[in-house]
Amino acid sequence: MNWAAVVKFKKVSQQFESHPDSLTHHLSEDGVQQMLILAERLRESSGGVLDDAAILAVSEATGAPPEYVRLAIKLRPQEKEGLTDRVRNSFLTLEPDTRRYVAATAGATALGIVEGLSRSFQIIADKTAQQVGTAQIQLFQVMAILLITAGIYNAGVSKDSKVAAFSAALFAGLSCIVFAVMCTILQAPNTASYWLLPLSALGAIGGLITHKLVDNYRGKLGLNDPVRERQELLQQLVDIQDKLRSGEQAYTFLSVDIVGSTRMKQMADPLNVEFTFTEYHKFVEMIARRYGGRVHSTAGDGITLAFDSPGQAFGAARTVQTGIIELNTFRNKIGVPIVLRCGIHTGKIVAPDASDVTTINFAEVIDISAHLQKACPPGGIVVSDASCTMLPGGPAAVGTDRIATDNSSGYLWLPKSAAKPAPAAGPPPLPANPS
């Protein structure tokens, strides 16, 4: 699944930060990813439809507010789909009350147009004293009955009686207005304006009665109980979460990057650059394999390595930092020594393929290792607090200096050659003058 929606969701959700009750600050990127995965899996299992009950189930399962779930679904990358599918999906992600009002508005508009056309054909038939337009009139009457039935159904399945009354009144009143407009356009006489208020009032009363009947006889009408439906969806989400967590395990990531690599390339011959940096990549990959790791990904001159334990990652990082001297001496054709920075962090990830860590592309643990690497002094290694606690000897095995970033902190390791020299002793004191 494409996780570009995560970035969009985080940006849009910042609009809610001004509200003190907003949960934006408590919704991590992993939480957003989990929410999107659950919503997508549930949508696939329900035939591509994610209705309000499913959205509420995702909300309860992830702890995200329903409006955040709707927003994330709207911003997810869309596959190629027809106009009907886009309209349906957009409609189903609306708020339940808004959905009832939108349906009432659309139905009322269609009913007003149908009734207006029916009136026009009826006038033509009366004037010609023939059966002109009889078939069209009958068709419009059938369509009107279907639209009225849909309007009644829309009010009956509303969340509460207030929404049912308002949507039914909106349906009746707006259809009357659209009918009057159509008659004016078609130059057909009408008295619709006189019936606007009475029809709206009758619509509100009818909506209340219909909602009450549907609520009492939901089972006999073949309609699902919202509470039971949400419980069933929650059970599906729990099953999905169990399957997703089957690939969850802890990994340690080592981020390695060259200091000032862009300037190094600009000052050297392109062939020498290609040879040297190829040798550098081979050097890092060889050490990773020696310590039981593998290359997770590369980006430019940066390399991210994955290990099963922090001890393996720390050992590989130290070997890389000390062994780079040999590469600079014998295989560096640029003329400028390669200097590295390293960052290490440990955390849990959920890989689509549990046996292949490279199948995970977006994880907070990878980001933190990269942030620590960028904050690291040249030639050093920053090991996060989470990784240090699992090292033999703990943080003392790394060092005493601390490095902190916006979202993490760790201990700094530097080679002995980078240690600060002890201050030189001053000259011996002059002997005192004998008096």
Q: Are residues 302 and 412 in the same domain?
A: yes
Which among 142, 144, 145, 122 has a CA at the least distance from the CA of 133? Answer: 122
Distances (CA, A) of 91 to 34, 143, 160, 164: 23, 22, 19, 18
Q: Is the pLDDT assigned to residue 129 strictly greater than 70?
A: no
**What's the rounded Cα separation, in Å, for the pair 431 and 315?**
53
Q: Are residues 189 and 216 in the same domain?
A: yes
pLDDT, tens only, 374-392: 999 999 999 999 999 999 8
- Which stretches of 331-406 are DSSP H helices? 364-375, 385-388
Tokens of residue 280, six digits: 């550098």
Q: Is the pLDDT assigned to residue 11 strictly greater than 70?
A: no
Number of domains in the chain: 3
Distances (CA, A) of 136 to 112, 128, 143, 181: 16, 15, 10, 20
Q: Are residues 83 and 188 in the same domain?
A: no
**What's the rounded Cα separation, in Å, for the pair 340 and 321?**
7
Number of alpha carbons in the 13 Å side-chain half-sphere of residue 2: 9
pLDDT band for position 243 (50/70/90)?
Answer: low
Q: Are 139 and 209 in contact (CB under 8 A)?
A: no
**299 in a domain, yes or no?**
yes
pLDDT at 80: 55
Q: Are residues 266 and 310 in the same domain?
A: yes
Q: Are residues 129 and 210 in the same domain?
A: yes
DSSP summary character for residue 80: S
Please give the model's pTM, rounded to 2 decimal places: 0.47
Q: Are 349 and 363 in contact (CB under 8 A)?
A: yes
Q: Are 357 and 294 in contact (CB under 8 A)?
A: yes
pLDDT at 212: 86
Q: Are 254 and 313 in contact (CB under 8 A)?
A: yes
Q: Are residues 213 and 311 in the same domain?
A: no
**332 in a domain, yes or no?**
yes
Strand arrangement, sheet containing 381-384: 294-299, 302-307, 248-258, 340-350, 381-384, 409-413, 402-404
Mean pLDDT of 103-120: 89
Tokens of residue 175, six digits: 């259809």
| Residue 380 CB coordination number (10 Å) | 22
Q: Are residues 68 and 129 in the same domain?
A: no
* Residues, the chain: 435
**225 in a domain, yes or no?**
yes
**240 in a domain, yes or no?**
no
Q: Name the residue range of residue 212's domain.
A: 96-231
- Is the model more confident about 244 or about 404? 404
- Is the model more confident about 195 or about 242? 195
**156 in a domain, yes or no?**
yes
Mean pLDDT of 414-424: 58
Q: Are 122 and 137 in contact (CB under 8 A)?
A: yes
Sign, Cα dihedral of 197, 198, 201, 204 = negative
- CA end-to-end distance (rounded Å), the chain: 91
Going by their DSSP bridges, the two strands 302-307 and 294-299 should be labelled as: antiparallel
Q: Are residues 223 and 264 in the same domain?
A: no
Q: Are 354 and 315 in contact (CB under 8 A)?
A: no
> Which of 41-55, 76-90, 341-355 has the weakest average pLDDT?
41-55
Domain boundary, last residue among 77, 92, 107: 92
Mean pLDDT of 232-252: 67
Instruction: Return mean pLDDT, the chain.
Output: 77
DSSP summary character for residue 425: P
Percent of the chain residues past pLDDT 90, beyond the cut: 34
pLDDT, tens only, 20-53: 344 334 444 555 555 566 666 655 555 555 566 6
Number of alpha carbons in the 13 Å side-chain half-sphere of residue 397: 16
Q: Are residues 176 and 55 in the same domain?
A: no
DSSP summary character for residue 323: H
The radius of gyration of the chain from alpha carbons, rounded to an integer in Å, stands at 35
Sign, Cα dihedral of 232, 234, 240, 246 = negative
Residue type, 127: K
Q: Are residues 184 and 266 in the same domain?
A: no
Q: What is the DSSP string of 125-168?
A: HHHHTS-TTHHHHHHHHHHHHHHHHHHHHHHHTSSSHHHHHHHH
**429 in a domain, yes or no?**
no
Domain boundary, last residue among 168, 200, 231: 231
**241 in a domain, yes or no?**
no
Q: Are residues 43 and 175 in the same domain?
A: no
Q: Are residues 260 and 386 in the same domain?
A: yes
Question: What CATH number did the domain enclosing 316 receive?
Answer: 3.30.70.1230
pLDDT band for position 303 (50/70/90)?
Answer: very high
**309 in a domain, yes or no?**
yes
> Which of 189-193, 208-212, 306-310, 327-331 has the weakest average pLDDT?
189-193
Helix/strand/coil for 251: strand
